[in-house]
Amino acid sequence: MSDCIFCSIVAGSTAADLVWSDHQTVAFLDARPVFKGHVLVVPRQHHATLADLPGGLVAPVFAVARRISAALPGALGCQGSFIGVNNTVSQSVPHLHVHVVPRTRGDGLRGFFWPRTRYASAAESADYAGRIRAALDRAAATPPGD
Ligand code: DGP
């Protein structure tokens, strides 16, 4: 897409610190990292969100995220990583990107972005689970991207 900054990085028109490139994916340093070494993995093809990603690209994209998360401790001395995808909400670039953020105990991200809540009762949690299962059943006939 012509006005997409990540398509421009994929095309080589915009500079980025690449850490991985293959025929389906590119990974580069996030310009505004949570911690230094924070990587974004993107499909070369423009797809806005995870729901839009064709089924055949899910494994390639997440395989690269897995590979990078495995490499970060040896590369940077961190202890682990956080993997995340913003879809539409809090997504500032509408080209799917998987965040791979280096993590170290005591790095200050205890709790990370999310305030936590509790279900009022077992019935309430069962209701939520039932609504999600029903939606998955409805979607089963036409899986997204397949
Ligand atoms: P999100 O908020 O999940 O959409 O994350 C988008 C990230 O993309 C954000 O952490 C900053 C990063 N970013 C935005 N523009 C550029 C850019 O031009 N180059 C690089 N390397 N990263 C960018």
Domain that holds residue 97: 5-118
Overall domain count for the chain = 1
Q: What is the pLDDT of residue 143?
A: 55
> Quick check: is 23 in a domain?
yes
Q: Which residue has the CA at smallest separation from atom 7 of ligand 1?
A: 30
> Quick check: is 135 in a domain?
no
- CATH number, domain of 24, equals 3.30.428.10
Q: What is the pLDDT along the chain (146 residues), one digit of tens a residue?
A: 789 999 999 999 999 989 999 999 999 999 988 899 899 999 999 999 999 999 999 999 999 999 999 999 899 889 999 999 999 999 999 999 999 999 999 888 876 666 667 999 999 999 888 887 787 788 776 655 54
> Quick check: is 66 in a domain?
yes
> Quick check: is 144 in a domain?
no
Give Dmax (Cα) for the chain.
53
C-alpha distances out from residue 46 to 37, 115, 118, 143, Å? 24, 32, 37, 19
Q: What is the pLDDT of residue 109?
A: 83
State whether the Cα torsion 12-14-20-22 is positive or negative: negative
> Quick check: is 10 in a domain?
yes
Q: What angle do CA 133, 128, 122 make, to 5 degrees?
A: 120
> Quick check: is 125 in a domain?
no
Q: What is the pLDDT of residue 5?
A: 98
Give the helix/strand (H/E) hosting 20. strand 18-21
> Quick check: is 12 in a domain?
yes
Residues 6+ apart with CB under 8 A from 128: 119
Measure 55 CA to ligand 1 centroid, in angstroms.
Answer: 24
Q: What is the pLDDT of residue 113?
A: 64
* Residues composing the chain: 146
> Quick check: is 88 in a domain?
yes
Measure 50 CA to ligand 1 centroid, in angstroms.
Answer: 16
